[in-house]
């Protein structure tokens, strides 16, 4: 496929809600922080209760303030992903952080041989779909996800994280879809499962637009 130019920008499908989704998240975080300061180390819940009743008359007995409550629950931290390894197809790549492009689609990695993690979604190993995007080829030849369609169920995918840990995943399948019918609900839908989505371009090449007509979506689940 040397000589062909593939872009992922504008082709990976619009994230549900586009940029608005990110704004809502910021507003929600701000509202929580304003009413009860953020959780302490370890991710435990912290709830501060008001003490004075509205409209209390002078001389009335006012209850003592309720002590701050701290939940015993903790949430394990998951570090940022820094490297992707797929042994069966020879992929070893650092991971860029990707946000949204101006049109609401996932931005493309800036290097052909480097994949990127969509950092407004879950981190690999957290509940939910973590999305990693890569180019399929370039003007000079194959790119990082050129062999992605060769992955078969059972193939191993490894994501190394900034704290030295590794999240392991097992491929369950892949599908090819027209970019005009990109299944955003499938790719980004919330779930309690720890899921990894690997996305690239595929199908026939449209010389008029300089893009492939389809996307390849590989799904992998957290290894037990």
Residues near 138 by beta carbon (within 8 Å), at least 6 away in sequence: 4, 5, 6, 112
pLDDT for the residue 136: 95
Range of the domain at 170: 1-224
Mean pLDDT by 10 residues, the chain (224 residues): 38 38 23 29 33 43 58 69 98 96 89 96 94 94 96 98 97 92 82 94 90 93 90
In this predicted structure, what is the pLDDT of residue 69? Answer: 58
- Is the pTM higher than 0.75? The answer reads no
R_g (Cα) of the chain, nearest Å: 22
Evaluate whether 48 touches 32 at the Cβ level (below 8 Å): no
> What CATH number has the domain bearing residue 169?
2.40.260.10
Number of compact structural domains in the chain: 1
| Alpha-carbon span 183 to 146, nearest angstrom | 21
Among 33, 37, 66, which Cα is nearest to 52's?
A: 66
Q: What is the pLDDT of residue 149?
A: 95
Distance CA 88, CA 218 (A): 14
Q: Are 16 and 40 in contact (CB under 8 A)?
A: no
Q: In the prediction, which pLDDT does 77 show?
A: 74
Taking the C-alpha atoms of residue 57 and residue 198, their distance in angstroms, rounded to an integer, is 63
């Amino acid at each position: 496929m040397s000589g062909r130019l593939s872009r992922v920008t504008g082709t990976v499908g619009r994230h549900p809600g586009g940029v608005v989704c990110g704004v809502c998240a910021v507003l929600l975080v701000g509202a929580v922080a304003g009413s009860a300061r953020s959780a302490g180390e370890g991710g435990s819940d912290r709830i501060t209760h008001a003490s004075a009743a509205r409209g209390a008359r002078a001389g009335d007995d006012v209850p003592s303030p309720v002590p701050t409550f701290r939940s015993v629950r903790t949430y394990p931290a998951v570090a940022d992903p820094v490297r992707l390894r797929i042994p069966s197809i020879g992929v070893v790549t650092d991971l860029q952080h990707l946000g949204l492009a101006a049109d609401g689609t996932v931005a493309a990695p800036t290097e052909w041989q480097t994949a990127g993690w969509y950092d407004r979604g879950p981190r690999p190993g957290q509940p939910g779909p973590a999305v990693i995007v890569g180019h399929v080829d370039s003007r000079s030849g194959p790119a990082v996800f050129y062999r992605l369609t060769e992955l078969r169920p059972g193939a191993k995918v490894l994501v190394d994280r900034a704290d030295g840990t590794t999240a392991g995943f097992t491929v369950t399948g892949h599908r090819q879809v027209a970019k005009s019918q990109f299944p955003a609900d499938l790719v980004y839908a919330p779930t309690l499962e720890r899921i990894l989505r690997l996305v690239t371009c595929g199908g026939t090449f449209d010389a008029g637009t300089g893009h492939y007509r389809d996307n390849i979506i590989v799904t992998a689940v957290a290894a037990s």
